Structure 1
Amino acid sequence: MSETPTPRPDVTSPVDEVPPAGRLLVLGLQHVLVMYAGCVAVPLIVGSALGLDTRTIGLLVNADLVVAGIITLIQTLGVGKILGVRLPVVTGATFAAVTPMILIGQNFGLPGVYGSMIVSGVFGMLIAVPFSKIIRFFPPVVTGSVITIIGLSLISAAAGLIAGNDPTAPGYGNLAGLGLAAGIVLVIILITRFVRGFLGQIAVLTGLVVGALVAIPMGLTDFSGVASAPWFGVAPPFLFGAPEFPVAGVVSMCVVMLVIFAESTADMLAISEMTGERLSPARIARGLAADGFSGVLGGTLNSFPDTIFAQNVGLVQLTRVRSRFVPAVAGGVLLLLGLVPKFGEVVASLPGPVVGGAGLVMFATVTAVGIRTLHKVRFEGTHNLMIVAVSLGVGMLPVVAPNFYRQVPATIEIIIGSSITSCVIVAFLLNLLFNHLPWGRAQ
């Protein structure tokens, strides 16, 4: 591939162009619609797993949108030479944090979750520069294994939303819920297959809307709390109390931050290729520092750490609109949506089978992306197959056997009991052993 020519000073880069106002708004809204279902899935899953009520989950949804909007604005517009990659990217809550947050919440409560997140955010901001220089230690064999595990581990969460989490409950796996979820999956498949352009890009969101409408006459919805929710407002910082800092939770969330960094780096490099914009290590570091800041901000505002959303990277490739101000508008829209509690209440009131049906497709897609990443790995003449096999095997243990680490102390279980953190640790160490340490390489 030929080297990208350095633009002349008098030529505006496509990344810095500002489209007309009307086009800018429409294209920004398109980015919001493409990523919205994936963004709100995280608070819905975490809130449901931790047994939170609908009103509280609604607050998490709003906080999630606020933080996603702020970090998107930071990534696109930048904050001096400190934060932001200044590329056309959109950020949202990462799926990588879901399982660790649930484990931490079950053992230490939400103050432990948010305290661990804040520390991991500070950790991320401190290591952003050195990480941008050691990307070679996170090749596709590591990132592909981890992304695959993220998707596989979340499929069980989708199953819980569809069928319920208590197999002994009378309504567990009822046919109405299973049928509704299956119908949503079918709608998403049909839209993806037969609809072209923008509508095809929002197949998951459309499936959610159709599912919600069908659930109303089925008697599966309860929007009674929407009327009492205020139109405007934001939850106060540290809604669940002063943050706590359990060591196991902190370690687990710091590992998650490394996953976020690897994921965001890959997306930044992809966007750089699409736009022809030079991406220096310093610029990558500013993008990663913004991800780290999302941990601090999310921990303070009752939200979640963010990462660059791959589906929006794909949208840039599809539309060929390379202006960073388009996703900046998307960030502004996300921020405004997050300031409307009624909106969060509506989302939180969606029936489990509706969210689970759409989630099943999203999480399986994450798995497929991981498999696609592994396709870049050279397996012949290397030990990469062993790296993938062992890291996936260890990562799947807590998924297929949730009580596998029951006898392990709780502080350790939070780390190794998370399929994602255990997979990251194993894949990273095995990659060092086989591909970087001289005495570990095949002769």
Structure 2
Amino acid sequence: MSTDAAPTQSPPLTPSAPLPFWRTTLFGIQHVLVMYTGCVAVPLVFGAALGLDTSTIATLVNADLLVAGVITLVQALGIGKLLGARMPVVAGASFTAVTPMILIGEEYGLSAVYGAMIAAGIFGMLVAVPFSKLVRFFPPMVRGAAVTMIGLSLIGKAVSMTFGDEPAGGAPLALAAGVVVLIIVLMRYGRGIVAQSAVLIALVLGTLAAAALSLTDFSAVGTAAWFGLPDPFLFGTPTFPIAGIISMCLVMLVIFTESTAYLMATADHLGRPLEPNRLARALGADGASAVLGGFLTSFPDTIFAQNVSLVRMTGVSSRRAVAVAGGLLVALGLVPKMGEVVANLPGAVIGSVSLVMFATVAGVGIATLARVDYSRNDNLLVVSLAMGIGMIPVVAPEVYEGLPSSVRIIAGGAITSTVIVAFVLNLVFNHLTPARTPKESAA
């Protein structure tokens, strides 16, 4: 049975027949399995980069799952005409925000990270409606460059998680290589839920192998509580540096472009166009996730691509199943022991898993860039310059060391600089000046 109310609202996008309770629950669990590793990797990468202790990282994990669950429920069921796509989509922490949050934390402290996030969330909620009408300014060229840079800029973080300060080699290298090979085998030769949960399976088996090699330490798990709420403002009263706010607002626009692409893909599968008002409500929920995440010390959420793929692969577009997934995520977020388990996963395992996921993110961006028409309008120049300038902070971060901190955080971040260059050049070449023909471009 559809949960959409009143005919005055947008018509439901749920063509599949109602499912019995047990199948609804099963598909809800499957949604959690598919997105879980990607969701918890965000606090792990963020915490490791800023040198947080495992207990603090565990708290971030719990807050991350709780906020993801709440926003998933909002996206699936909606809050009247205010928030939520009312579509079978799952929300989770976005990798887009990780690098800018790390830069803000290093320069201004952790209280500034969450102050900037709250401000960016409010900004997102305010611009959701106009953004939904301006999607044409964020074509595959801009989205693809941004997503590709997200993946590439995080690969170094995955390597650091794998080996820490130790030189690569020995048991950690062998374990990391084994985890990567296992993921490849499961994704290539597995079927159904096995292939879809390849990362999670590799994470579990890799942790068991690490335990056999004495590379694990879960002693803190025993002292953690079975039930608890995340601490609001864990790092103190939020502060609001202007540079941090601008950087996170740019991140919010990138998150909007990600979510828009995945919402469009889901709408296509469901056989209906994505109406601007539905898109605006969905993007408003993304903004709300940043506000809630700022209060609970979590992360901004976006629509998860792997769950969009799951809906397409299974043909099950039940919003109730997604709501079950949201409820399960909320429940997991209220179990501190679960957070401690995730926070204490061996670095060689979680680092190698993260490497695969970040490389996959870059691959998704490259696939998006493959849709760009490079025969006209200097699109190749736009992509090339955006990627080239975006790589500078990755390969030569010292270039920006002499600049003021406010400039360094905005222009010296790989993701934000890529988005700025791609957006501005696309605006100039494809909207503000006459388009050139292929012959003129080659002349």
What is the TM-score of this pair, normalised by structure 2? 0.95
1:55 aligns with 2:55: yes
Q: Give 1:386's aligned residue.
A: 381
Q: What displacement does 1:245 show?
A: 0.3
CA–CA separation in structure 1 for the residues paired with 2:29 and 2:71: 17
Paired amino acid for 1:232: F
Number of paired residues?
A: 430
Q: Give 2:241's aligned residue.
A: 246
Q: CA RMSD in A?
A: 1.6
Moved more, 325-334 or 402-411: 402-411
Paired amino acid for 2:118: I
Instruction: Give the ranges of 4+ consecutive aligned residues of structure 1 lying more than 6 Å apart after TM superposition.
Output: none
CA–CA separation in structure 2 for the residues paired with 1:441 and 1:13: 40
Do 1:148 and 1:367's aligned partners in 2 also have CA atoms closer than 8 Å? yes
Q: What displacement does 1:174 show?
A: 3.7
Matches within 5 A, 1:187-266: 187-266=182-261
Do 2:376 and 2:436's aligned partners in 1 also have CA atoms closer than 8 Å? no
1:360 aligns with 2:373: no
1:344 to 339, 347, 352: 339
1:121 aligns with 2:101: no
CA–CA separation in structure 1 for the residues paired with 2:263 and 2:190: 29
Describe the superposition over 1:241-261 as per-residue Cα deviations: whole angstroms up to 9, x where unpaired: 000001111000000000000
Q: What displacement does 1:217 show?
A: 1.6
Describe the superposition over 1:51-88 as per-residue Cα deviations: whole angstroms up to 9, x where unpaired: 10001000000000000000000000000100000000
Paired amino acid for 1:397: I
Paired amino acid for 1:425: I
Moved more, 275-284 or 51-60: 275-284
1:175 to 152, 170, 176: 170
Paired amino acid for 2:182: V
Describe the superposition over 1:213-269 as per-residue Cα deviations: whole angstroms up to 9, x where unpaired: 100021111101001100000122111100000111100000000000000001111
Describe the superposition over 1:279-331 as per-residue Cα deviations: whole angstroms up to 9, x where unpaired: 21011000000000001000000000000000000000000001111111101
Do 2:13 and 2:267's aligned partners in 1 also have CA atoms closer than 8 Å? no
Q: Give 1:4's aligned residue.
A: none
Do 2:16 and 2:316's aligned partners in 1 also have CA atoms closer than 8 Å? no
Describe the superposition over 1:410-430 as per-residue Cα deviations: whole angstroms up to 9, x where unpaired: 121111221001100000001
1:305 to 300, 307, 327: 300
CA–CA separation in structure 2 for the residues paired with 1:398 and 1:194: 38
Secondary structure in 2 aligned to 1:226? helix
Matches within 5 A, 1:258-297: 258-297=253-292
CA–CA separation in structure 1 for the residues paired with 2:147 and 2:114: 23
CA–CA separation in structure 2 for the residues paired with 1:151 and 1:418: 13
Q: What displacement does 1:15 show?
A: 5.1
CA–CA separation in structure 2 for the residues paired with 1:372 and 1:270: 14
Q: Give 1:428's aligned residue.
A: 423
Q: What displacement does 1:353 show?
A: 1.1
Paired amino acid for 1:295: A
Paired amino acid for 1:124: G
Structure 2 gap segments, 5+ residues each: 1-6
Q: Give 1:149's aligned residue.
A: 149
Do 1:42 and 1:98's aligned partners in 2 also have CA atoms closer than 8 Å? yes
Secondary structure in 1 aligned to 2:302? strand
Secondary structure in 2 aligned to 1:322? coil
Q: What displacement does 1:17 show?
A: 5.4
Structure 1 gap segments, 5+ residues each: 1-6
Matches within 5 A, 1:32-181: 32-164=32-164, 166=165, 171-181=166-176
Paired amino acid for 1:264: S
Describe the superposition over 1:332-351 as per-residue Cα deviations: whole angstroms up to 9, x where unpaired: 00000000000000000001
Do 1:15 and 1:88's aligned partners in 2 also have CA atoms closer than 8 Å? no
Q: What displacement does 1:12 show?
A: 7.9
Do 2:377 and 2:435's aligned partners in 1 also have CA atoms closer than 8 Å? no
Q: What displacement does 1:162 show?
A: 1.2
CA–CA separation in structure 2 for the residues paired with 1:130 and 1:387: 25
CA–CA separation in structure 2 for the residues paired with 1:141 and 1:94: 20
Q: Give 1:323's aligned residue.
A: 318
CA–CA separation in structure 2 for the residues paired with 1:429 and 1:14: 38
Q: What displacement does 1:441 show?
A: 4.9
Secondary structure in 2 aligned to 1:83? coil
Paired amino acid for 2:239: E
What is the TM-score of this pair, normalised by structure 1? 0.95
Secondary structure in 2 aligned to 1:411? helix
Do 1:118 and 1:299's aligned partners in 2 also have CA atoms closer than 8 Å? yes
1:370 to 355, 360, 365: 365
CA–CA separation in structure 2 for the residues paired with 1:126 and 1:14: 28
Describe the superposition over 1:383-418 as per-residue Cα deviations: whole angstroms up to 9, x where unpaired: 000000000001111111122211111121111221
Secondary structure in 2 aligned to 1:232? coil
Paired amino acid for 2:429: F
